[in-house]
């Protein structure tokens, strides 16, 4: 794969996964920065919740766009539920019962949850909800070249690209061993050129898994190298 070809492919990959990379970066950030408990005057304490009317529909508190926590008030106490919305999901809205509210019993962090514990449980479940709604795993670490390549190949196959399998082979054979673990936002032209030098110095792969001598690499300026000598001439 030439430098020009690789740059073209990487450019397409960056364009196709730019929105997803932004979303996944937010997921990664949430792992390192503990979000604050959002306040609600009617849900904060058991005293405040005691004043609420009994009804089947939860009292909702939106935590972030598409993510909410609810308190369902029953005759003998309440329960915490979470709600996740994603327009691309099937179905777009899903729910999860988190546990009983600490209306009549002290919280234990597992079966009985305080208001703050319920929010923490909801935020943790939102990562699973993202996967359930979209079929994609939420990114909780650095988004790497390997992640981007995988998303790109899946997208190409979904759109019926006949070259997807060949591209996957080329990436797995030559790109990912050197660049796979590199965070996508650290990929630069210089790093690609260093990778090209590594590929040029390595044996070429032949059919059947054998290795052979690699032909001379063209100059980066675009000028062709010396023409090969015809057989039988000096």
Per residue in 78-122, pLDDT (tens digit) is: 999 999 998 877 788 999 999 999 999 999 999 999 999 999 999
Q: Give the predicted TM-score (pTM) of the model.
A: 0.49
Identify the CA nearest to 87 among candidates 26, 39, 144, 130: 130
Per residue in 182-221, pLDDT (tens digit) is: 887 787 778 877 877 887 777 665 445 455 554 444 444 4
Q: Are strands 93-101 and 112-113 parallel, antiparallel or unpaired?
A: parallel
Selected residue with higher pLDDT from 118 and 19: 118
CA distance 185 to 200: 25
Provide the pLDDT for residue 49. 95
Across 31-35, 157-161, 219-223, the highest mean pLDDT is recorded for 157-161
* Coarse DSSP helix, strand, coil percentages of the chain, rounded to the nearest 5 percent: 45, 15, 40
Provide the pLDDT for residue 137. 57
Rounded average pLDDT over 135-143:
65
**How do the domains of the chain map onto residue ranges?**
3-26+142-202, 36-134
CA angle 128, 87, 65 (to 5 degrees): 70
Provide the pLDDT for residue 223. 47
Across 3-12, 90-99, 172-181, the highest mean pLDDT is recorded for 90-99
Pair 139, 25: CB distance under 8 Å = yes
Distant-in-sequence, close-in-space partners of 55: CB < 8 Å, separation ≥ 6:
73
Provide the pLDDT for residue 61. 96
State the average pLDDT for the chain.
75
Q: Please determine, for residue 133, whether its predicted confidence score (pLDDT) is greater than 90.
A: no
Q: Please determine, for residue 24, whether its predicted confidence score (pLDDT) is greater than 50.
A: no
């Amino acid at each position: 794969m030439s430098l020009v070809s690789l740059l073209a492919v990487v450019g397409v990959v960056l364009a196709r996964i730019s929105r997803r990379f932004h979303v996944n970066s937010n997921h990664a950030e949430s792992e390192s920065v503990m979000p604050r408990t959002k306040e609600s005057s009617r849900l904060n304490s058991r005293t405040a919740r005691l004043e609420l009317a009994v009804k089947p529909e939860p009292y909702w508190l939106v935590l972030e766009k598409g993510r909410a926590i609810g308190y369902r008030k029953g005759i003998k106490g309440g329960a915490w539920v979470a709600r996740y919305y994603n327009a691309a999901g099937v179905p777009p809205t899903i729910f999860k019962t988190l546990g009983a509210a600490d209306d009549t019993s002290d919280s234990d962090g597992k079966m009985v949850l305080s208001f703050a514990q319920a929010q923490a449980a909801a935020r943790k479940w939102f990562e699973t909800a993202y996967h359930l709604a979209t079929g994609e795993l939420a990114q909780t670490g650095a988004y790497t070249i390997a992640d981007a390549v995988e998303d790109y190949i899946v997208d190409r196959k979904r759109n019926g690209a006949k070259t997807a399998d060949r591209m996957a082979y080329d990436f797995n054979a030559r790109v990912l061993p050197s660049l796979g673990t590199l965070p996508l936002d650290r990929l630069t032209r210089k790093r690609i050129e260093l990778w090209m030098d590594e590929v040029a110095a390595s044996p070429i792969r032949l059919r059947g898994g054998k290795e052979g001598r690699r032909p001379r690499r063209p100059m980066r300026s675009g000028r062709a190298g010396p023409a090969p000598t015809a057989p039988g001439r000096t």
